[in-house]
Every structure is written in C-alpha cells, then in structure tokens.
C-alpha cells in the first residue's frame, strides 16, 4: 500500500453546482463563459479537474446539452483541465435531464449508486437509473467517478464493481456534510473508507463550515484528491467570502502543502486517476 503522502493530491474544482446562488456569494459563475473563465483561473491556482454543472444566465440549474458542450469547449480552449460532468443535476430534475452532459464528450462523468434525503427533499437515483448511466458512459468511452453521500453508496459501488456492473478502476468521491447524508467527522471518514479496495482513488468533498477540517483529515489519510468550489462552500475562511473559485483552490493547495502533500499537475492527475490521455 502506498504511503499516505507518496503521491501528489488532485484538486478538483466544483465551480457552480445547482444549489448555491449569487445571494450566497455574488461571485458564483452562471453562464458557460463565466464557468470556463473561473475554471481556467482555478487551473492557474492548482486545480486539475473540473466538476461541471450548468446554469441558465439567470442562475437556474439547467440540463441543456448545448450549455455543457459550450462550457467544456471553452474550458478546453483555455486550459488542459480534466473535465467531468455531473449526472446529479438538480434534485428536481428527471434522469433524462440529469444525464445530458454525457453528450458533451467529457473526460469523466459522475454516477450515483443510491438515493438520500437532501435537506427537505429527496435526491433519488434508483438502481436501474444508475446502471443506465454506466451503460451510456461505457458506450461513449467516458470513465466514471462514483459520488457517495453515505456508507451504503460506497458499499453498493464496491458490490457493483465485484459483479462487473461498474467498470474498473473504481473512483469514488466521498461527500460529507450534506443534510441527509453522512456527517463531517473523523468517524464518518473511517466508515466511508472501510469498504474500499486498496489503492482505490478517493476524493474528499465537504459541504459547509467543516470543509477545511475534513479536507485536512483526507489529506492526512492519503486521499487521492480533495474538492473545493462554490458548489460546496462560498467562504475561504470564517466570515470571509471567497472572491473567486481560484481563491478556494489556493486555500486547498496551501492546506495540502502545509500537511506535507504536493499538488498534482494536470498530467499527474490523469495518471493518478487512470485516465488515458485527453478525450
């Protein structure tokens, strides 16, 4: 097994999400050009991978495929960033609208392996829908990352891998602090890691005020990656709104270096995540 600090850490940026608005932080990007510009600035700060949701110009979460296509095109024109589309969308979207990003030829796509309460509503991914996303991604040659919000999601992903329903290699983003999902605590991290096979690439995402603590715990436990961005938190420090997504990436990079971890370059991130070149 690799030493906890042997490999550099991949910083993922989630620049906009589907929940946070400019009422939370006036710097949240909406339009494809804004998301792309914010992403390319974050690349200069150390981000290697972009987790993409799209919005209409007024900030409404969207599933329009042309918005995914324009966003990815603009990101690729300005950088070598790894692009990843969400298939989570917004909680009110149907599965067809949630999966339109697959048409944009991304480097990666997310997939959920279960459902959960999400605040006051339900975020539903039934098993046939998860399998359908996997099938579509495999046909298009798009690698996958599992988005896991509680231990059952991790255990199901491992079972799906073992029976051949989920292609190798398994990549997992462990999400903490979502109301209705697993809490942000050291015990929660240990529980989420327990089912994973050795050498599985895993990323820590934390929503809300415990973000830096959970990122630090992940870094000290050998996390493959950490994720930041306005999708997850709008503050760069207590009481201090981030001026940009790049601010949040700089915070993450500094945290990693202070804890003895180097930050992965984009080519290093492709190797660590087992991605075979640019799409």
Identify the architecture of domain 10-272 in CATH.
Answer: Alpha-Beta Barrel (3.20)
- Per-residue model confidence as pLDDT tens digits over 149-166: 999 999 999 999 999 999
Q: Which of 222, 163, 232, 151 is nearest to 192 (CA)?
A: 151
- Per-residue model confidence as pLDDT tens digits over 220-231: 999 999 999 999
**C-alpha separations of 74 from 11, 83, 136 in Å:** 20, 11, 24
The predicted structure's pLDDT at residue 45: 98
Buried b (16+ CB within 10 A) or exposed e, 226-250: bbbbbbbbbbbeeeeebebbbbbbb
pLDDT above 50 for 258:
yes
Q: How far apart are CA 256 and CA 4, in angstroms?
A: 12
What integer is the mean pLDDT of 18-33? 97
What integer is the mean pLDDT of 258-263? 97
pTM here?
0.96
- Per-residue model confidence as pLDDT tens digits over 104-118: 999 999 999 999 999
pLDDT above 50 for 279:
no
The predicted structure's pLDDT at residue 6: 85
- Per-residue model confidence as pLDDT tens digits over 92-143: 999 999 999 999 999 999 999 999 999 899 999 999 999 999 999 999 999 9
- Per-residue model confidence as pLDDT tens digits over 46-84: 999 999 999 999 999 999 999 999 999 999 999 999 999
**DSSP-derived pairing of the beta strands 202-206 and 225-228:** parallel
The pLDDT confidence band at residue 146, using thresholds 50, 70 and 90, is very high
Q: How far apart are CA 24 and CA 271, in angstroms?
A: 36
The predicted structure's pLDDT at residue 2: 60
What integer is the mean pLDDT of 237-258? 97
**C-alpha separations of 193 from 56, 146, 155, 221 in Å:** 36, 13, 10, 10
Percentage of the chain surpassing pLDDT 70? 98
- For the chain, what is the mean pLDDT? 96
What integer is the mean pLDDT of 182-188? 98
Q: How far apart are CA 134 and CA 104, in angstroms?
A: 16
The predicted structure's pLDDT at residue 278: 44
The predicted structure's pLDDT at residue 221: 97
Q: How far apart are the first and last CA of the chain?
A: 30
Q: How far apart are CA 201 and CA 12, in angstroms?
A: 13
**C-alpha separations of 130 from 127, 159, 256 in Å:** 5, 13, 33
Query: Hunting for tokens 């339009």 — which residue is that?
Result: 31
Q: Where are the domains of the chain?
A: 10-272
- Per-residue model confidence as pLDDT tens digits over 191-236: 999 999 999 999 999 999 999 999 999 999 999 999 999 999 999 9
């Amino acid at each position: 097994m690799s030493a906890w600090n042997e490999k550099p850490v991949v910083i993922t940026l989630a620049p906009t999400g589907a929940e946070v608005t400019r009422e939370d932080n006036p710097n949240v990007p909406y339009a494809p050009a804004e998301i792309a510009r914010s992403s390319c600035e974050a690349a200069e700060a150390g981000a290697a991978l972009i987790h993409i949701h799209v919005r209409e110009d007024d900030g409404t979460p969207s599933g329009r495929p042309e918005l995914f296509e324009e966003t990815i095109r603009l990101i690729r024109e300005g950088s070598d960033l790894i692009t990843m589309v969400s298939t989570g969308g917004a909680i009110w979207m149907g599965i067809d609208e949630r999966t339109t990003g697959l048409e944009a030829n991304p480097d990666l796509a997310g997939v959920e392996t279960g459902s959960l309460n999400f605040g006051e509503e339900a975020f539903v991914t039934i098993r046939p829908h998860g399998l359908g996303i996997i099938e579509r991604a495999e046909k298009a040659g798009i690698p996958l990352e599992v988005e896991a919000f509680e231990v059952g999601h991790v255990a199901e992903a491992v079972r799906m891998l073992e029976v051949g329903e989920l292609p190798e290699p398994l990549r997992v983003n462990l999400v903490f602090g979502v109301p209705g999902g697993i809490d942000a605590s050291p015990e929660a991290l240990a529980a989420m890691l327990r089912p994973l096979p050795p050498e599985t690439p895993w990323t820590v995402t934390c929503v809300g005020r415990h973000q830096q603590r959970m990122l630090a715990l992940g870094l000290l436990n050998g996390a493959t990656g950490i994720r930041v961005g306005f999708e997850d938190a709008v503050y760069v420090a207590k009481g201090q709104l981030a001026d940009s997504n790049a601010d949040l990436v700089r915070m993450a990079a500094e945290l990693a270096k202070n804890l003895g971890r180097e930050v992965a370059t984009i080519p290093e991130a492709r190797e660590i995540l087992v991605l075979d070149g640019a799409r």
